[in-house]
């Protein structure tokens, strides 16, 4: 059996000197005995996968609401794509793949139903009551809201994973966590990798889903150099292929091009600053894991295109606005008479602020649960 000690030793030998080692973790808030054959980060990964919040990601919107179709990305499949891209980057930079995977799997646990419109509604409603944002909520989920252990609340994850969830970009960028959280300096490279893998994943899968749904017309992409170059390459290789296969091939090539640029450029920065340890990474005034300037320029028009043509498409905007309105209605209904909250949430009322209890309850909902609750309140023929 490969023991934890051996895993830790392997990390010291195999990983780069600037990688985060599981034996160097700042540890957990509540003391626990180490596992015999899993590293601290492997254990955290498993705790996340077994959490309720993780399973709920399956029914939370990325861009397309669940009932639009079965083939679009959900927050769960988005999370898996982020983890997969992040692990590839981490492995090729000889970073800690286990830590990277764990942070990626946890990175969206604080998301509300209906994506950013749900978040906008809760931020507005909570402005006077201690605010809301999905990164802070993610930390709240793993620190407090998940109930698994008899001796402490939450999942008792390691400091580095919790830091990855709270997300911050520089030592000066103080995250507004609901829970006090001391920042050590710049984020570890593993955290930086997940952040960019998130961007790569959603830019490309939103493009793919946008095209599949017909909201984006492919010929409009001709003006985007990144797209055009990938298309030309594919056409050179295969002169006649079905449109759908061509689309997959282009998206696949786009991800590959961006990941390759990121890995090469990051390697270059690591060499330039002669980074030799994770503590040196902590002292860096700026991000180390980043695209080349050329790739940043190439990515810009693609992102603007997505904003104009997909995120601002009238059907996406209508759905977002509808979600915003009914999340607000639900919130106000619970606040007006909190005896309408189900038992699990009501038991917290004595101890916690009413607004926070309602906010946690709504933030944890899946899209379909929120829709169902809404019907129960506002459809007179629906059983309550
Ligand atoms: Mg994400």
- Residue pLDDT, tens place only, 341-357: 999 899 999 889 999 99
Please identify which residue in the block is written with the tokens 């990175």: 107
Q: Within a domain: residue 228?
A: yes
pLDDT of residue 182: 78
Distance CA 288, CA 240 (A): 41
Distance (Å) from CA 350 to ligand 1 centroid? 34
Q: Indicate if the pLDDT at residue 278 is higher than 90.
A: yes
pLDDT at residue 344, rounded to an integer: 87
Give 47 Cα–ligand 1 centroid separation in angstroms: 19
**361-369 mean pLDDT:** 95
Task: Say if residue 313's pLDDT is above 80.
Answer: yes
What are the φ/ψ torsions at residue 28 (nearest 5 degrees)? -110, 160
Q: Which domain holds residue 64?
A: 4-378
26 CA distance to ligand 1 middle (Å): 25
175 — pLDDT class (breaks 50, 70, 90): low
Residue 295: count of CB within 10 angstroms of its CB: 18
The pLDDT score that the predictor gives to residue 101 is 98
Q: What is the C-alpha to C-alpha distance for residues 363 and 122, in angstroms, rounded to an integer? A: 8
Burial of residue 268 (CB within 10 Å: 0-12, 13-18, 19+) is exposed
User: Phi/psi class of residue 129: alpha, beta or left (left: φ > 0; alpha: ψ in -120 to 50)?
Assistant: alpha
What whole-number percentage of the chain has pLDDT above 90? 84
162 within 8 A of 258, measured Cβ to Cβ: no
Distance (Å) from CA 113 to ligand 1 centroid: 14
Q: Is residue 182 part of a domain?
A: yes
How far apart CA 222 and CA 82 sit, in angstroms, is 27
Contact indicator for 28, 156 with CB cutoff of 8 Å: yes
Q: Which residues pair with 158 in a beta bridge?
A: 28
Question: For residue 276, is it within any domain?
Answer: yes
Mean pLDDT of the chain: 93
Residues, beta carbon < 5 Å, ion ligand 1: 108, 198
Cα of 201 from ligand 1 centre, angstroms: 8
Distance 81 CA to ligand 1 centre (A): 9
pLDDT bucket at 274, cuts 50 / 70 / 90: very high
Determine the pLDDT at residue 176. 60
- Expressed in angstroms and rounded, the spacing between residue 108 Cα and the centre of ligand 1 is 5
Share of the chain above pLDDT 70, in %: 97
Ligand 1 centroid – CA 31 distance (Å): 30
Q: Of 323, 319, 309, 290, which is closest to residue 112 (Cα–Cα)?
A: 323
Segment 62-101, tens digit of pLDDT: 887 777 788 899 999 999 999 999 999 999 999 999 999 9
Q: If DSSP codes are grouped into helix, strand and coil, which group holds residue 192?
A: helix
Greater pLDDT, 336 or 169: 336
Is the pTM above the cut of 0.75?
yes
> What pLDDT shows up at residue 131?
86
pLDDT at 350: 85
Position 263 scores a pLDDT of 98
Question: Domain for residue 111, yes or no?
Answer: yes
Q: Which residue has the tokens 């990626």?
A: 104
Enumerate residues 6+ apart whose C-beta is below 8 A from 175: 135, 136, 166, 167, 168, 181, 183
pLDDT of residue 67: 75
What does the pLDDT read at residue 354?
Answer: 95
Per-residue model confidence (pLDDT) at position 239: 87
pLDDT, average across residues 95-113: 97
Q: Does 384 map to a domain?
A: no
Query: pLDDT tens digit string along 188-232?
Result: 999 999 999 999 999 999 999 999 999 999 999 999 999 999 999
Residue 47: inside a domain: yes
Average pLDDT over residues 365-374: 94
The pLDDT of residue 172 is above 90: no
pLDDT at residue 167, rounded to an integer: 76
- The alpha carbon of 57 and the centre of ligand 1 are apart by a number of angstroms equal to 11
Question: Residue 168: its pLDDT value, please?
Answer: 63
Total Cβ atoms within 10 A of residue 321: 11
Q: What is the pLDDT of residue 177?
A: 52
- Beta-carbon count within 10 A of 207 CB: 23
Residue 309 lies in a domain: yes
Q: Position of tokens 């083939």?
A: 71
**How far away, in angstroms, is 146 Cα from ligand 1 center?**
20
- End-to-end CA distance of the chain: give it in Å, rounded: 53
> Any idea what the CATH number is for the domain that residue 352 is in?
1.10.3210.10
Inside any domain, residue 383: no
How many separate domains does the chain show? 1
Q: What is the pLDDT of residue 152?
A: 96
Could you tell me which residues come within 8 angstroms of residue 173 by beta carbon, excluding any fewer than 6 positions away? none
């Amino acid at each position: 059996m490969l023991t934890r000690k051996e895993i830790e030793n392997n990390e010291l030998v195999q990983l780069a000197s600037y990688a985060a080692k599981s034996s160097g973790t700042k540890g957990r808030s509540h003391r626990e005995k180490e596992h015999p054959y899993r590293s601290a980060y492997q254990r955290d990964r498993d705790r996340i996968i077994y959490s309720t919040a993780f399973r709920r990601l399956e029914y939370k919107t990325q861009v397309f609401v669940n009932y639009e179709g079965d083939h679009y990305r959900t927050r769960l499949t988005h999370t898996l794509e982020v983890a997969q891209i992040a692990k590839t980057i981490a492995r090729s930079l000889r970073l800690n793949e286990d830590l990277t995977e764990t942070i990626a799997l946890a990175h969206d646990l604080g998301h509300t139903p209906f994506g950013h419109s749900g978040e906008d509604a809760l931020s507005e409603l909570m402005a006077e009551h201690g605010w809301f944002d999905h990164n802070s909520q993610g930390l709240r989920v793993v620190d407090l809201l998940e109930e698994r252990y008899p001796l402490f609340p939450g999942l008792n994850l390691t400091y580095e994973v919790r830091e990855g969830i709270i997300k911050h970009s520089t030592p000066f960028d103080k995250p507004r966590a609901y829970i006090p959280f001391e920042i050590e300096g710049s984020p570890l490279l593993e955290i930086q990798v997940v952040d960019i893998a998130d961007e790569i994943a959603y830019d490309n899968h939103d493009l793919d889903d946008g095209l599949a749904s017909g909201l984006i017309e492919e010929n409009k992409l001709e003006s985007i150099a990144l797209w055009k170059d990938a298309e030309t390459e594919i056409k050179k290789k295969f002169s006649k292929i079905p449109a759908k296969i061509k689309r997959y091939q282009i998206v696949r090539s786009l991800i590959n091009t961006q990941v390759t640029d990121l890995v090469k450029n990051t390697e270059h920065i690591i060499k330039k600053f002669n980074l030799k340890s994770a503590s040196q990474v902590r002292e860096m005034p700026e991000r180390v894991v980043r695209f080349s300037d050329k790739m940043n320029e190439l990515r810009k028009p693609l992102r603007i295109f997505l904003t104009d043509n997909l995120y601002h498409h009238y059907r996406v905007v209508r759905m977002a606005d509808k979600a915003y309105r009914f999340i607000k209605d639900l919130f106000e209904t619970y606040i007006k008479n909190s005896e309408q909250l189900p038992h699990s949430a009501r038991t917290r009322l004595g101890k916690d602020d009413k607004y926070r209890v309602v906010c946690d309850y709504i933030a944890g909902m899946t899209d379909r649960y929120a829709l169902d609750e809404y019907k129960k309140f506002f459809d007179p023929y629906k059983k309550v």
